[in-house]
């Protein structure tokens, strides 16, 4: 939900400043994936092969 809010806020910011939203989105999307990966590692502290159902 936070990612969607961030995208909407970013769109509004680009709209008010007259910037190309898709150009900035191309820069930000890989960083979101990288942050998600680091966040997943940080949650567990180590890798696990357990499955939560």
Q: For 19-50, write each residue's pLDDT tens digit.
A: 999 999 898 888 888 887 777 766 656 666 77
**Nearest one of 31, 29, 13, 33 to 21, comparing CA atoms:** 13
Confidence (pTM)? 0.58
- Cα(40)–Cα(48) distance, integer angstroms: 11
- Cα(38)–Cα(17) distance, integer angstroms: 31
pLDDT at 36: 79
pLDDT-derived band at 53 (thresholds 50, 70, 90) equals low
Residue 17, pLDDT above cutoff 80: yes
């Amino acid at each position: 939900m936070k990612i969607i809010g961030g995208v909407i806020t970013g769109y509004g910011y680009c709209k008010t400043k007259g910037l190309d939203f898709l150009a900035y989105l191309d820069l930000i999307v890989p960083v979101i994936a990288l942050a998600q990966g680091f966040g997943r590692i940080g949650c567990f502290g180590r890798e696990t092969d357990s499955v939560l159902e």
